Structures are given as C-alpha cells and as structure tokens.
Amino acid sequence: MSADTRSLRVVVTRKMPEAVEAAVAARYDALFNRTDVALTAEQMAQVLQQADVVITTVTDKWHPGIFDTTSIRTKLLANVGVGVNHIALESARRAGITVTNTPDVVTDDTADVAIALILMTMRRLGEGERHLRSGAWSGLRPTFMLGRTLRGKTLGIVGYGRIGRAVARIAHEAFGMKILWHAPRDPRIDDPATAGPASAERAATLEELLQRSDVVSLHCPATPETRHLMNAETLALMPPHAYLVNTARGDVVHEAALVTALKEQRIAGAGLDVYEFEPSVTAELKDMEQVVLLPHLGSATIETRTNMGMRALANVDAFVRGERPGDLVG
C-alpha cells in the first residue's frame, strides 16, 4: 500500500480475529475497540467525526439520528456480515457514506447451524443434554424422550438464496428430507454447484409451504416486507407437529406470537439463533424445553469470521484505491 493509506484512520468497532486486526493495522492508521463492547449512539457519532472508514458489525445500531452528526469524516461503513438492516442506509447515503457487506463467505457455516437446530429440535438433543446434566437420567427406557426422524420429512425453506439452497442440499443429501421452498423471486444461481436439489419443489405461496412442512427454516433477508413474517396468523398455518428454525434475522419472527404458539402447542418446537430484540431474548423462551436457543453462532467459526473480516478489508482497500468495492450495498 502507498504511504498515503497509512494516514487513513480506520476504526474497527468490535474485536476481530487476530489475522484480520493485523492486516488492518499493517495497512492503515487503525483504532480498535479493545473493550469489545458495543458502542453507544454517542460513541458512534464521535467515530463518524474521527474515522475515514469504519469496519462495523450487526451489533452497531446505526440509527438515522446518528448520521445527523456535524462534520462527518467517514466515507465508508464496511460491514462484517451480510445483513445491513442495522444501518439506516438512506441516512448514510445522504451523509455521503458508502456501505459494503460480506456475502458468500457465511453460507456453509450458517447452513450447518440451521441443520444443527433442525436436529436439536426434532431429536430433542438440547433437552436430553440438560436432563442428563441435571442428574435426573436413570437409564435407557424404550419410550423415553422420543423425537422424530428427519428422513422422509418435508423441510420448508423460506428464502432460497445461497444459504437456503445450502441447507436444502444438506437436508436432502445427508438426511433424505423432501425440500419445499418459497421465495418471491427466482433465485440467482451463478454456479450450478450452489443450486438446490433437483427434486426440490417450489411452493406457490408461503401459506402452502407452511401447511405442508414438517420443519420450516427461515433464510430470508430482513426487510420491511419480511418483518414479523412469522406471526400469529402464519404460525397458525403450521401443523401441530411442525418445528420452526430461524438463522436469518430476529425480527422475521414475532417472538410474542411464537411464545403463544408454543405454549398452546400449536407447533411442536423451535430452534433459534437470532432474536427480535437481540441480544435480549424473550424470557419465556428460555423456560421452554421444546425450544433450542443459540447465541447467534451462525457464522461463528475461526475460518468464516476471519474470511468475513478479510472480505470487509478487501472492500476497504478497493474503496481507498478509488475503485468500486466488490460488495457495494444498494
């Protein structure tokens, strides 16, 4: 990199894998958040005044008011993650700030977690581990803690992008599940290897998918249209033996409605990795044995989190060179 880039102030809002932080520090005048605590709105406004580039994450809530800050210096928000619903994009644009994200690199690991949640809910694995750790287990009994097999069951996938199709491939090829999917548009498939199973069936409507599925796995983006997509009305369409899995975005599910559906046994269980009010989790969900709760682990592997950080950095490098970043949002 040229000497000029060393004078560019890059603020990294959360702790990143060592390789990522080392690479950022080698290229730029880097400032890291060593507390690894999410910044307050006041601190974020200050960052916009002090940094040329901000490498940010989903835990930073870039509300519209933050961009009303005077004397904004920042020209790029490089998000480490795919979703950007935590950034007021129009407000950022009006402030002259470009936004990028990191698609593609999270696909496989997030799909793995979705499959893990399907297994944990249908086979009652989380419940079983808690039972054993409590000291209550008295040995094998033929009718003890019976779950359901995945084989031959119908997996309904809402949102058929990269992650949704990866889940479909694993579920079908490894577990013999039938695949039913729904999305408002045909998926964009650049590589045949990323296509879903040839036998996958498209549901004409979300309602059809919910009524026919034994498990529903959510993989749609967070948009005004998908907010509370799963609500009292849509949850009521699922069979009482069905399970809901969410590794997409928390506000796709109306958590209060989900709690009611679970309490009233309208559905059999749920597996969640994301939450409507994250990092807060609805207290009643924590008390339900038929619910599996993970702390947003979808992309949480050393390899993927490093790749995400490096991809964000590649967007920064391109922007600094005056080129169009590869992962420009909007």
Residue 323 burial by CB count (10 A; 0-12/13-18/19+): exposed, middle or buried? exposed
Q: Decide if 72 contacts 281 (C-beta within 8 A).
A: no
Residue 219 known to be catalytic: no
* Cα–Cα dist 270/126, whole Å: 12
Q: Which two tokens stand for residue 189?
A: 């498939």
- From the list 249, 254, 305, 311, the catalytic residue is 249
Given the residues 148, 227, 228, 278, the one annotated as active site = 278
Question: 146 burial class (0-12, 13-18, 19+ CB within 10 angstroms)?
Answer: exposed
**Beta strand segments in 33-184, E:** 53-56, 76-79, 98-100, 154-158, 178-182
Assess whether 225 carries a catalytic annotation.
no
Among 251, 269, 144, 159, smallest CA distance to 214 is for: 269
Asked if 21 is an active-site residue, the reply is no
Q: Which residues are catalytic?
A: 249, 278, 296
